[in-house]
Structure 1
Amino acid sequence: MTSWLLNGLHNLYLENPIFESSDPTTTKFETTEILKEHQLTWRRGKVDSALRCTHVGELSFMLLRYGAAVHVAPGALHDFYLFQVPIRGKSSIGVGNQTVVADRHTATVISPDLPLQLDWEQDCEQLLIKIPKPSLNQACMQLLDIAPEDQIEFQPKYCLNNSHGTAWQHQISAMLSYAAQKDYLPEQWLQNLQTNLLQHLLITQPNNYSKYFHHTPRMTGQRRLRLARRYIHEHLGENLRLEDIAQACDSSIRSLTDAFRTQLDISPTQYIREARLAAVRKELLQAAPTTRITEVATRWGFTHLGRFSAWYKESYQESPLETLNK
């Protein structure tokens, strides 16, 4: 743990505690309010609990101690990610089928859908960063140009004594340093600090989207676009995911999106929609007057018929029914 982070934590120690208690019941109640419902088993040592918390943007930075050794069983977190690292002492964190022995040099990144169990040794105190799922998804979407379709899931063990870990600590320290002034600072600037922190986590900590962030382009944008368009038109009526299109042209989602924007000035999603609208129009122009428009639209991949009708009229200045009656 760097002196940078310790300096930043000084600002968190200056926060008035959310609670301080030697009562097990109070401790359980207060931590449930801030985090989530959990089973809390007290082991050796005296209860001397405290929680301090500050918020910067949508992130919550907390210092938590129990005093006594504890076993905590919250199950899956569901609504948020949790980064935690001991400031003093050690803990054993079971995330899914992996166990991380955490200390000042090794942190844990806990993904929302994985079962979780924690064992804190006596006198352990930890820094926790609570990251709402929508905030991380938004940061991911800005990198990929699309919202992630699957839950982002991290490798839980996070090393703090390499270059990525050092840079991560510097960013946390910077955010904590500004916490006391956040009401006087531009909101967009604080949002950018948050985005940088979360994108650093996404890019440097292995996760199920890492291949899209680190993929090395293997072909020109022109060839990539040609292969992508061919795949789209061959599967136009199917559930087209950008991950599948990118894989078909040996590309990352980001490179695929760049190729569409650079050469066609539209996103892949817009291209798919326009291709589907053109396919529907071609079929309606050749169809019998008794044809059900909803069946044609559904066959070409439109599942929300209200949006389909609006997109169709915007593209062709007439409704699908007017096209059918021509």
Structure 2
Amino acid sequence: MSVATIPLASKPGFRTTDVEAVRAWVGASLSPHRFELLGRTRHIDVVHHRAGLSGSAFHYVDYGGDILETADLGDPVLVQIPLAGRTLIQSGPHAVIATPTMAAVTTGYTSMRYVAPNPRLVFRVERELLESRLALATGAPVRRPLRLDLAFDLTSPGGRTWRSLVDTVVADLSAGGPISQSPLASASLELAIIDSLLSVHTGAHSDLLHEQSSKAYPRALRRAMDLIEDHCAEPLTTADVAEAVGVSVRALQEAFQSHLDTTPMAYLRSARLRRVHAELVAGGEGVTVTDVALRWGITHAGRFAQDYRRTFGRSPSETLRQGR
């Protein structure tokens, strides 16, 4: 695969033949892992590029050789999409041969046997974000561990749609296009990727989604959610939102609590955090954490830092440095 056709080639990354450098880099950006060179492979030529969104990221990885990799992926969920070749992936008692038409959805302790060529896209998403979107879709808190089936058929109707959406976002990220340059647009597309993954790919949540699919949020709640998402940079209060959608403050609070297990102001803080995170990941000349936070209506620096680290697992300044 030529440099010109490598997805995300314009994004931060590295290329190396040093196995120890690979362990350090991939371990920091994806998960701690072990490598073993297999068969005829005596040298590797690893290429890795990354583009972060809000609570997720796309990676392009090519090991350039036959590799056995074992990793404890922890809580994050990885969707591995081979662009060529075949990979044997085993997670617990389950195994799948991943190909360009069969992705693998992995979490926890996983063994992966890559046979060259093995270029692939990897979509990494935080479990907390997946579960929050599942709770939003079902209108109820997630009370059991989220589990997605290991094999994800990309030739199924839902799989084709999801893969097409991924291609659109990755192409825009690769080119630095208008979607990736807009924090609001990129955040919205990230949620579309996550929501559609939950919708079209089977797992322990599928019955719950099916059971809840006929349920609709009250119109006022949906309008309130849309208003907060669209105007989260503004100094909104619960009373402002309630007045805008034509309900009482108490009714609005009860709707958020009963359907989303949160409050209007907590939902607003979450929306702001996602926008801030998207800008910090994008980085850029002259970008500062303070300016970005203020632009999205965040004025309490101490609480912001705590909420940010709790949500994304690192500080705002660490995110900004990584984006650069």
Among 22, 28, 31, which residue is 1:27 paired with?
Answer: 22
Q: For residue 62 of structure 1, what is the amino acid of its counterpart?
A: H
Shift of 1:66: 1.2
Q: 8 Å contact 1:12–1:53 — kept in the other structure?
A: no
Which structure 1 residue ranges, 4+ long, deviate > 3 Å from structure 2? 181-186, 252-258, 265-271
Alignment of 1:232-247 (within 5 A): none
Larger CA deviation: 18-27 vs 82-91: 18-27
Of 70, 73, 77 in structure 2, the residue corresponding to residue 73 of structure 1 is 70
Q: Hey, what does 1:47 align to over in structure 2? A: 44
Conserved? CA contact 1:95–1:117, under 8 Å? yes
Residue equivalent to 2:172: 178
Count of residues in correspondence between the two structures = 224
Alpha-carbon distance between aligned partners in 2 of 1:62 and 1:268, rounded to the nearest angstrom:
35
TM superposition shift of 1:154: 0.5
Partners of 1:189 and 1:170 in 2: how far apart?
17
Larger radius of gyration: 1
Q: Identity of paired residues, percent?
A: 14
Matched, 1:84 2:80: yes
Q: Which residue number corresponds to residue 221 of structure 1?
A: none
CA distance, structure 2, for counterparts of residue 32 and residue 94 of structure 1 = 19
Structure 1 counterpart of 2:161, one-letter code: A
1:64 matched to 2:61? The reply is yes
| Offset at residue 87 of structure 1 (A) | 0.8
Q: Find the residue that maps to 1:116 and give its secondary structure.
A: strand
Q: 1:39 to 1:208 in 2, by over 3 A?
A: same
Q: TM-score, normalised by structure 2?
A: 0.62
Contact in 1 for aligned 2:82/2:100 (Cα 8 Å)? yes
Offset at residue 188 of structure 1 (A) = 2.7
- CA distance in structure 2 between the partners assigned to 1:195 and 1:116 by the alignment: 26
1:15–1:53 contact (8 Å) kept in structure 2: no
Spell out the pairing of 1:1-326 with structure 2 (5 A cutoff). 10=5, 12-16=7-11, 18-44=13-39, 45=41, 46-75=43-72, 77-111=73-107, 114-179=108-173, 180-181=176-177, 185-215=181-211, 252=212, 255=215, 266-267=254-255, 270=258
Unaligned runs of 5+ in 1: 1-5, 216-251, 274-326
Helix, strand or coil for the counterpart of 2:131? helix
Structure-2 change in CA distance of 1:96 and 1:193 (3 Å): same
Q: Is the 8 A contact 1:212 1:254 kept in 2?
A: no
2-structure distance, mates of 1:86, 1:65: 10
Amino acid at match of 2:48: L
Q: CA deviation at 1:38?
A: 1.2
The equivalent of 2:274 in structure 1 is none
Give the superposed CA RMSD.
3.1
Deviation (angstroms), 1:197:
1.0
Distance 1:32 1:70 in 2: 15
Partner of 2:244: none
Question: CA offset at residue 12 of structure 1?
Answer: 2.5
**For structure 1, which segment, 17-26 or 82-91, has the greater mean C-alpha deviation from structure 2 after superposition?**
17-26
In structure 2, how many angstroms separate the alpha carbons of the residues matched to 1:270 and 1:255? 13
1:153–1:188: structure 2 CA closer, same or farther, 3 Å change rule?
A: same
- 1:255 is displaced (CA, Å) by 3.5
Which letter maps to 1:34? S
